[in-house]
Chains A and B, each alone.
Chain A
């Protein structure tokens, strides 16, 4: 199991090794992150078979479909959940937080 920080870029799609969660990186932020789900590093969406991994119990609070998450220490980070799951998102030991939506009026 890899624990390296994934080089994030806008448009990168990642999947959890411990649950159904999938995300897309909307904005990568200003420094490298070790993006985890359920406490275990996420893999590229097209990566083949993950090794046997055990989630970290306190990082199994869920990720919500369609919600945006950001980093408490870098609000330039934006990660969108495209498939929700049981694991929660973190940068290593730092939990990502739900980003408040500022709704725009429908325009087309």
Chain B
């Protein structure tokens, strides 16, 4: 049992349907299966222990993913923006890797000293190779290795086994649940779990995929319109740029039936503007972690509509939730002492289910004795099981003994019209242990000063949650998938600067 099963089912159900690329000249599902099996034959001859990929998202990713799976080797997509020494450090942690690299990254990949094949050469060699069937991968073997973004610490290497990924796909996707005209636009990178998830779930659903590797809001909109894209997934920073680009105009994307967002916190004002710009589109907020094989909770289109239209504050608040957990996932909210909390109370989110890996290469599994995984995310559940996230446990600022979730203060700042982006961090302080510092990017031409923003937050939250300082910057440091890199801000703010 391996993820290869997903592709072989799709290839037998819709052999001639286009799977990858433009409808006119894309690769069909049977073509993808052939390329993957021939690629696997090459990889087996190569006697490698794992396959690393350094490149952007393109039809090559699903090909390489299914080829590696058919060869029984784990695929490790790496961040192509990393400098050579960091890349070498990650490659050194893999088992005898063969590196497949886009031609523009082949030189930097070779400079790490590891064995490198240019992606184009690998694919054309596969197309000259007669596929030789091999043994099916063991369900307990590693299918994908993903390095976490490391916003608070060094990257960890998450192990996703065939059984985890299959459980995720079989538990959340209905086979062949699409029409031939359906098309997904993929703009997340291959080293993000949603990049892997999109390759698996779209293949199993029978949905064609097109790619936009270097995100740009104008090109994203153009591609949605020209390719008749019916579904897309974006991280919040991408949606914010699309909304900003539209400047209040209708997006004019009538074919776009669904738009999923996730990967980081979505500021509510951006979501509200997006809902207005895409009136015909169903929105889905997906919450998941690398360690959980992507999505574990979804706020679906119907939930979005109900929340927007409702006068009931409980229902309306759900627009800011991650929805309900997917089938096969159980949740617990636990206090610091490990006791399980009741609905309405915030604690750490623990999850359990077949799709949950919770395992790091080298460090082993962090699941507890009963199989529960600590997400390190702070959350509460409401009476109907809607999940509300309030930031990373590791980001919690402890100021004078009081725990403060930066997300709450950031949300308060973002309701001020002058604030475009905000990050709140704890900076070491002799008196308070940590003091609360807000780093703010103002909108163009906005003049609000620190005192005005502090007063704004004090008006919304209690006094102890008012930032001790407000510092202005031209931009915030983000990972490519939209997570604020808080440790860079803490480093920049220590020793203290005057606000």
| Nearest-Cβ distance from residue A106 to partner chain B, whole angstroms | 5
Q: Is the CB of B298 within 8 A of A67?
A: no
Q: Chain B interface secondary structure, helix, strand, loop or mixed?
A: mixed
Q: Is the CB of B300 within 8 A of A13?
A: no
Given the known interface contacts A13-B1, A65-B175, A101-B174, the answer about A106 and B262 at a Cβ–Cβ threshold of 8 Å is no
| Nearest-Cβ distance from residue B138 to partner chain A, whole angstroms | 10
A-chain residues with CB within 8 Å of residue B197 when the two chains form the complex: 107-108
Q: Is the CB of A11 within 8 A of B198?
A: no
With beta carbons under 8 angstroms apart, the residue of A24, A26, A67, A106 that contacts B205 is: A106
The answer to the question of A83 belonging to the interface, with a C-beta cut-off of 8 Å to chain B, is yes
Q: Is the CB of A107 within 8 A of B260?
A: yes
| Nearest-Cβ distance from residue B405 to partner chain A, whole angstroms | 25
0/1 per residue, B147-179, Cβ < 8 Å to A? 000000000000000010010001011111100
Q: Is the CB of A26 within 8 A of B170?
A: yes
Q: Is the CB of A104 within 8 A of B326?
A: yes
Bound complex: CA A26 to CA B295 (Å): 19
Interface positions, chain B 188-243, Cβ under 8 Å from A, are 188, 193-194, 197-198, 201-202, 205, 207, 231, 233
Interface positions, chain B 1-41, Cβ under 8 Å from A, are 1, 5, 8-9, 12-13
Q: Is the CB of B13 within 8 A of A107?
A: no
Number of interface residues of A (CB under 8 A): 19
The answer to the question of A103 belonging to the interface, with a C-beta cut-off of 8 Å to chain B, is yes
Q: Is the CB of B163 within 8 A of A107?
A: no
Q: Is the CB of A67 within 8 A of B175?
A: yes
Bound complex: CA A67 to CA B477 (Å): 46
Interface positions, chain B 64-111, Cβ under 8 Å from A, are none
| Nearest-Cβ distance from residue A22 to partner chain B, whole angstroms | 9
| Nearest-Cβ distance from residue A70 to partner chain B, whole angstroms | 13
Most buried by B among A66, A82, A107: A107
Among residues of B, the one whose C-beta sits closest to the C-beta of A105 is B284
| Nearest-Cβ distance from residue A100 to partner chain B, whole angstroms | 10
The answer to the question of A43 belonging to the interface, with a C-beta cut-off of 8 Å to chain B, is no
The answer to the question of A10 belonging to the interface, with a C-beta cut-off of 8 Å to chain B, is yes
Given the known interface contacts A66-B176, A83-B12, the answer about A106 and B354 at a Cβ–Cβ threshold of 8 Å is no
B-chain residues with CB within 8 Å of residue A80 when the two chains form the complex: 170, 175
Among residues of B, the one whose C-beta sits closest to the C-beta of A101 is B174
Given the known interface contacts A24-B1, A66-B13, the answer about A106 and B175 at a Cβ–Cβ threshold of 8 Å is no
The answer to the question of B131 belonging to the interface, with a C-beta cut-off of 8 Å to chain A, is no
Number of interface residues of B (CB under 8 A): 43
Q: Is the CB of A104 within 8 A of B1?
A: no
With beta carbons under 8 angstroms apart, the residue of A13, A67, A83, A107 that contacts B262 is: A107
Q: Is the CB of A107 within 8 A of B1?
A: no
Interface positions, chain B 254-283, Cβ under 8 Å from A, are 258, 260, 262, 282
Bound complex: CA A97 to CA B36 (Å): 34
Interface positions, chain A 70-108, Cβ under 8 Å from B, are 80, 82-83, 101-108
The answer to the question of B286 belonging to the interface, with a C-beta cut-off of 8 Å to chain A, is yes
Q: Is the CB of A65 within 8 A of B12?
A: yes
The answer to the question of B294 belonging to the interface, with a C-beta cut-off of 8 Å to chain A, is yes
Q: Is the CB of B201 within 8 A of A10?
A: no
Among residues of A, the one whose C-beta sits closest to the C-beta of B304 is A105
Bound complex: CA A11 to CA B13 (Å): 21
0/1 per residue, A1-41, Cβ < 8 Å to B? 00000000011010000000000101000000000000000
The answer to the question of B391 belonging to the interface, with a C-beta cut-off of 8 Å to chain A, is no
A-chain residues with CB within 8 Å of residue B326 when the two chains form the complex: 104
Among residues of A, the one whose C-beta sits closest to the C-beta of B300 is A105
Q: Is the CB of A66 within 8 A of B286?
A: no
Most buried by A among B163, B174, B207, B258: B174
Q: Is the CB of B175 within 8 A of A108?
A: no
16 A-B residue pairs with Cβ-Cβ distance under 8 Å, sorted by A, are A11-B1, A11-B166, A65-B12, A66-B9, A66-B13, A66-B174, A66-B176, A80-B175, A82-B8, A83-B12, A106-B201, A106-B207, A106-B284, A107-B201, A107-B298, A108-B294
Known A106-B284, A108-B286; 20 more pairs at CB < 8 Å: A10-B354, A11-B139, A26-B170, A65-B176, A66-B9, A66-B174, A67-B175, A80-B170, A82-B5, A103-B174, A104-B172, A104-B300, A105-B260, A106-B233, A107-B197, A107-B201, A107-B295, A107-B298, A108-B188, A108-B193
Residues of A within 8 A of B (CB): 10-11, 13, 24, 26, 65-67, 80, 82-83, 101-108
Closest 4 CB pairs of A and B: A66-B175, A107-B286, A108-B197, A105-B284
